[in-house]
Amino acid sequence: MDLKNHRLGGVLLLSIGLVSGCASANQSDSPFDAAAVVEMTVVNRAPTSVTAFVWWRGGARIRLGEVRGSANRTFNTPIRSDEVYLSFDVLSGRQVGRPAPPATFVPVRPGDRIEWEISSTFVLFYRRLQ
């Protein structure tokens, strides 16, 4: 019976070690400091609200938040790659399937300020701010 408890303790310690190792490895896949951010202003000239997302090269599409129709909203987001793109979903429309990753990305560095403009016909433009 003592041997059985010893084995159970070994399995438990191994499991805890594996879980904590995986958790610490996935805390940040960014090549930048955790405090490195980029400012993204979304100017929505469309009449309907959109949900804005950042899409980092080689990474996931991450939700920033909603931007009402004919409104602006600024987001500060941690940098997860050296290239990014903004994508959006129109809230009045129905999303079907997963969006494809963008073909082009915008280079970014810590402290950059980028303004993304969604036109009234849902065409996306960007420019760098000083």
Contact (Cβ atoms closer than 8 angstroms) between residue 72 and residue 42:
yes
Q: What is the pLDDT along the chain (130 residues), one digit of tens a residue?
A: 555 555 544 444 444 444 444 443 344 455 667 789 999 999 999 999 999 999 999 998 999 999 999 999 999 999 999 999 999 999 866 665 667 888 899 999 999 999 999 999 999 999 999 8
Class for the domain spanning 37-129: mainly beta
Per-residue model confidence (pLDDT) at position 2: 55
For the chain, the first-to-last Cα distance in angstroms comes to: 71
Alpha-carbon torsion angle 86, 89, 90, 94, nearest 10: 160
Domain spans in the chain, listed from the N-terminal domain onward: 1-29, 37-129
Confidence at residue 7, expressed as pLDDT on a 0 to 100 scale: 55
The pTM for the full model equals 0.72
